[in-house]
Chains A and B, each alone.
Chain A
């Protein structure tokens, strides 16, 4: 009945009439036309998960219908507003923008030995704001040219696969992130 289901999501973008409400999604760029079932929370700590069906549009997701009968349409505004949003954007544009910022960051911090300056560089901060879509691009760069991408990866992914792992060398740190990317479908290798 429903094809190409991607799960799990924490949250999803929603279009509601003329207003855009977008939520962060966990997986990489999802193809247009994909239909999926998703769960979302009314509030951050709300254990009562609600279900909905959404369809990926050209640059957004549409909430089609709710499966959970407890969810009323007029509740959606309140639910969505409580979440931080990230839009699906055009992949080519994203790649181009990332490449510009990444090249700029690498050049500007090439001779800096101060980690604070490196990760607070304006181009690096802008990369962090680009969202999860740049994770594969970062990981590709990390494979090709080892650099201090770890802070950006942690921030964007909201996770840390190196936590609790024995790491003796910075290359191991990079390898853990690359393995993580591969395991989570960021198609690095």
Chain B
């Protein structure tokens, strides 16, 4: 369990949320992070820094860093072969969006839902449903890459 945030706390750190759609969709937890959540996992932290072998996961083929190319490779191996031209919802596709501040290291990853909105795990706290621009700002930077794969 993490500290329960209310909307005011989130909007202070992500001011764009105030003017865009968003909704808190889970209780806080430290059991998974944004990368895991974007990959559809909610019971492991996806990171190369190990806490314990069953708690943290990092793909064996991935380099041990947070570089954009490494994150891209991770999602490539999950079937996200294509770079999407935009963040609009496409019926037969699933999309993930990668945020960065410096265009070198990732800061955050979000996953698109069938509604067209996006879902994100905010660090150790809540999941939220949001628009991509809602999380852009000082904390996560901007969306620098959107990848897509064919839906199953």
Beta-carbon contact of A170 and B55 below 8 Å: yes
Contact check, B52 vs A110: say whether CB atoms are below 8 A apart: no
Contact yes or no, A114 B47, CB < 8 A: yes
Cβ–Cβ contact B123 & A112, under 8 A: yes
9-residue interface stretch from B31-39, B77-85, B111-119 = B31-39
Bound state CA distance, A168 and B56, in angstroms? 10
Q: Which residue of B is nearest A151, CB measured?
A: B51
Residue contact B51 to A173, C-beta cutoff 8 Å: yes
Determine if A114 and B55 form an interchain contact, defined as CB atoms under 8 angstroms apart. Answer: no
Judge whether B121 is part of the interface by a CB distance below 8 angstroms. Answer: yes
Does B54 make an interface contact (CB < 8 A)? yes
Q: Is the pair B30, A148 in contact by a Cβ cutoff of 8 Å?
A: yes
Give Cα A15 to B3, complex, Å: 44
CB distance from A62 to the nearest CB of B (A): 41
| B66 and A167 contacting across the interface, CB-CB below 8 Å | no
Main SS class of interface, A: loop
> Interface residues of B: mostly helix, strand, loop or mixed?
loop
> Once the chains bind, are A115 and B3 in contact (CB under 8 Å)?
no
Total inter-chain residue pairs, C-beta < 8 Å: 72
> In the assembly, what is the distance between CA of A110 and CA of B47, in Å?
16
Can you list, as one digit per residue, whether each of A147-158 has a CB less than 8 Å from chain B (1) or not (0)?
110110000000
List of A residues within 8 angstroms of B123 by Cβ? 109-113
**Chain B residue with the shortest CB-CB distance to A113:** B33
Chain A residues, CB < 8 A from B122: 110-111
Q: How large is the interface on B (under 10, 10 to 19, 20 to 34, 35 or more residues)?
A: 20 to 34
Instruction: Tell me if A148 and B108 are in contact (CB < 8 A).
Output: no
Distance, CA A20 to CA B11, complexed state (A): 51
Residue of A nearest to B4 (CB): A145
Distance from B54 Cβ to chain A, minimum over Cβ atoms (Å): 5
The answer to whether B31 touches A170 (Cβ under 8 A) is yes
Contacts A113-B108, A116-B49: A106 and B30 contacting too (C-beta < 8 A)? no
A66 at the interface (CB under 8 A from B): no
Q: Does A146 make an interface contact (CB < 8 A)? A: yes
Report yes or no: A173 in contact with B52, Cβ–Cβ below 8 A: yes
A74 at interface by CB-CB < 8 Å: no
Residues of A within 8 A of B (CB): 106, 109-116, 119, 145-148, 150-151, 162, 167-171, 173
> Can you list 21 A-B pairs with a CB-CB distance of less than 8 A?
A109-B123, A110-B3, A110-B13, A110-B122, A111-B125, A111-B139, A112-B123, A115-B47, A115-B48, A115-B51, A146-B1, A146-B2, A146-B29, A146-B30, A148-B51, A162-B52, A167-B54, A167-B55, A170-B31, A170-B52, A173-B55
Of all A-B residue pairs in the complex, the 3 with the closest CB atoms, nearest first, are A113-B33, A115-B49, A111-B123
